[in-house]
A = this chain, B = another copy of it.
Amino acid sequence: MNGNRFGRLFQVTTYGESHGEAMGVTVSGVPAGVELDQQAIQAQLDRRKPGQSMITTSRGEPDEVTINSGIQDGYTTGTPIGMVIQNKDARSGKYEPYVTAPRPSHGDYTYSAKFGTRNWGGGGRSSARETVNWVAAGAVAEQVLDASPYDIEIKAHVNRIGDVEAGPVTFEEILEQSEENDVRCADPEAAAEMQELIEEYQREGDSIGGSIYFECRGVPRGLGAPRFDSFPARLGQAMFSIPATTAVEYGLGKEASAAAGKDRNEDWTFDDGESFDHVVSEAGDPVPVGNDHGGLQGGITTGEPIYGEATWHAPTSIPKKQRSADWETGEEKEVQVVGRHDPVLPPRAVPVVEAMLTLTVLDFMLLAGRINPDRVDGAVGEYDTEYHPSSPRNE
């Protein structure tokens, strides 16, 4: 309702401003019994951290996560996990000129228009700093999925920066190669070109847009609750929550407008045993012969890989001189954004995209009864015959 919560059974509630005291995230709906690795959460935060390379902002945030609740002897207890990440390197003073003279194309003006005020330091609540909360929550979700019997893999990479496009890569290449370079592009040659392009824009005091390709493998068939909570609808909400997203596509995406039905339609055949959500039945299990549908038919997962693409516009914080209008003085004036900023968004958005995908997939897994909402090891049958209530500590 008021924007600070994501998810239905797996609920993520966040707070925090870019230059406030701390960022915070409460993860409610974590099934009990998951051995939670705090270092793995930290590792995801480090992937998103500022200052990790020359093409990211130089703001120095250690982004160390503190876990305040929800764990006993290293295992989740089914109660909410409260996490806090202190803001260490906030320098709000730089933002004073913009208090009443909004920076071009930021959220400065709209936040003030909505609330009659805003936290103006570093963009306040509108800053992408908020996504540190999402990545922390996503890292918890990832561990819940890993503790389930499902073998789900979620990965994204940068496939376009400006006019440089990555060549075709396999999912395995994305898994193995995308983290090898600062751009997070699985095509090494394109990555080098992208890096060069970004540095060029950076030198000119400018910034540039780009896209991310994402894919999930191993997501079982039958997830998604049509019509308004369909898988693409909820994932669309998740993706468009990420700041500066301007387009989201699934499967053929925008190119589907030019495809004929007979070409895009995919016949059904029988499973050769290699589909992602294999079903053993006497007669066999129908699988589609292709995957132009991006793993989604009728708003529900088919068991085939879910894939798509999202686009980000260029960062709005650029050192170039721009013009603003000061609503206190009534005067137009020149402004220059002197903070520390990213020249491009997709490289640091990769872990954020993966986090939102993970949160969305897990939420649907819980909603479809694929993972028990109370306990990761629980199933209907087990409750009655095998359940023995005890603390993992005593096992």
Contact = CB atoms under 8 A, between A and B. Distances in A.
A178 interface: no
Contacts of A160: 257
Interface in A341-375: 367-375
Given A26-B15, A68-B84, A105-B266, A284 B110 contact: no
B113 A222 contact: yes
A325 B269 contact: yes
A105 B233 contact: no
A235 B248 CA distance: 12
B327 A227 contact: no
Interface residues of A, number: 188
Given A211-B254, A247-B247, A260-B314, 12 more contacts: A1-B29, A2-B373, A3-B299, A21-B66, A79-B124, A106-B298, A111-B298, A112-B391, A206-B262, A222-B374, A246-B254, A372-B380
B391 A99 contact: yes
A243 interface: yes
A256 interface: yes
Interface in A186-235: 201, 206-211, 220-230, 232-235
How many copies altogether? 4
Given A11-B5, A68-B22, A324 B110 contact: no
A384 interface: yes
A380 B12 CA distance: 24
Contact of A236 (B112, B208, B237, B267): B237
A84 to B, nearest CB: 7
Nearest to A324: B268
A314 to B, nearest CB: 4
A25 to B, nearest CB: 9
A332 to B, nearest CB: 6
